[in-house]
Amino acid sequence: MKQHYIPRCYLKRFSNSKKSIYTYDKIYCRKYNASLMSVCCVDDLYTLSDDYVKNNNKADESVINNLSIESDHFAHIVEPNYAQLLNQIDEIKEEWMTGKDRYRLNFIEKRELALHIVTQYFRLPQIGNIMVDDYIRMERANIDMVKEVMAVNTGNNEFRNLEIDVTCEKPALHASISYLDSDNLMTFADAIASNIFIFWISNGNDFYTSDFPIVVSPHVQNVQPKFMGLAQYGGELTFPLSPNLSLSIFDREYFKDKEYLDGNFIKASDKEVRRHNYLRYMYAVQHVFSYKNDFSLIEFIYKIKGKHPFLSPNYKTEIISGLSRYRSEE
Angle at 187 (CA atoms; ends 181, 193), nearest 5 degrees: 125
Tell me what the pLDDT averaged over the chain comes to.
93
Q: Are 22 and 290 in contact (CB under 8 A)?
A: yes
Beta pairing class for 196-201 and 265-267: parallel
**Model confidence at 209: pLDDT above 50:** yes
Q: Are 137 and 329 in contact (CB under 8 A)?
A: no
Q: What percent of the chain has pLDDT over 90?
A: 86
The whole-number average pLDDT for the span 6-13 is 98
Within 155-217, residue ranges assigned H as helices are 170-176, 182-193
**What is the band of 59 on the pLDDT scale with cuts at 50, 70, 90?**
low
Burial label, 270 (beta-carbon count in 10 A; 0-12, 13-18, 19+): exposed
User: Of 281, 118, 112, 315, nearest to 210 (Cα)?
Assistant: 281
Q: What percent of the chain has pLDDT over 70?
A: 94
How many angstroms from the chain centroid is the CA of residue 277?
A: 17
- Whole-angstrom distance, CA of residue 61 vs CA of residue 71: 19
The whole-number average pLDDT for the span 15-40 is 97
Q: What integer pLDDT is reported at residue 72 of this predicted model?
A: 95
The whole-number average pLDDT for the span 212-226 is 93
- DSSP, collapsed to helix, strand or coil, labels residue 151 as helix
**Model confidence at 325: pLDDT above 50:** no
Within 177-269, residue ranges assigned H as helices are 182-193
**What is the band of 116 on the pLDDT scale with cuts at 50, 70, 90?**
very high
Strand partners, 249: 197, 237
E-strand stretches of 51-178 = none
Beta pairing class for 30-35 and 196-201: unpaired
**What is the band of 206 on the pLDDT scale with cuts at 50, 70, 90?**
very high
C-alpha distances (whole Å) from 209 to each of 33, 53, 213, 277 are 15, 36, 6, 7
Beta pairing class for 215-218 and 20-25: unpaired
Q: What integer pLDDT is reported at residue 315 of this predicted model?
A: 62
**What is the band of 328 on the pLDDT scale with cuts at 50, 70, 90?**
very low
**The model's pTM:** 0.92
- Phi, psi angle pair for 246, to nearest 5°: -130, 145
The whole-number average pLDDT for the span 161-176 is 92
Long-range CB pairs of 108-112, under 8 A, 24+ apart, other chains included: 110/192, 110/193, 110/197, 111/186, 111/189, 111/190, 111/192, 111/193, 112/85, 112/189
The whole-number average pLDDT for the span 286-298 is 98
- What radius of gyration, in Å, describes the C-alpha atoms of the chain? 22
- DSSP, collapsed to helix, strand or coil, labels residue 52 as helix
**Model confidence at 149: pLDDT above 50:** yes
> How do the residues of the chain divide into helix, strand and coil, expressed in percent and rounded to 5?
45, 15, 40
**Model confidence at 323: pLDDT above 60:** no
Q: Are 266 and 198 in contact (CB under 8 A)?
A: yes
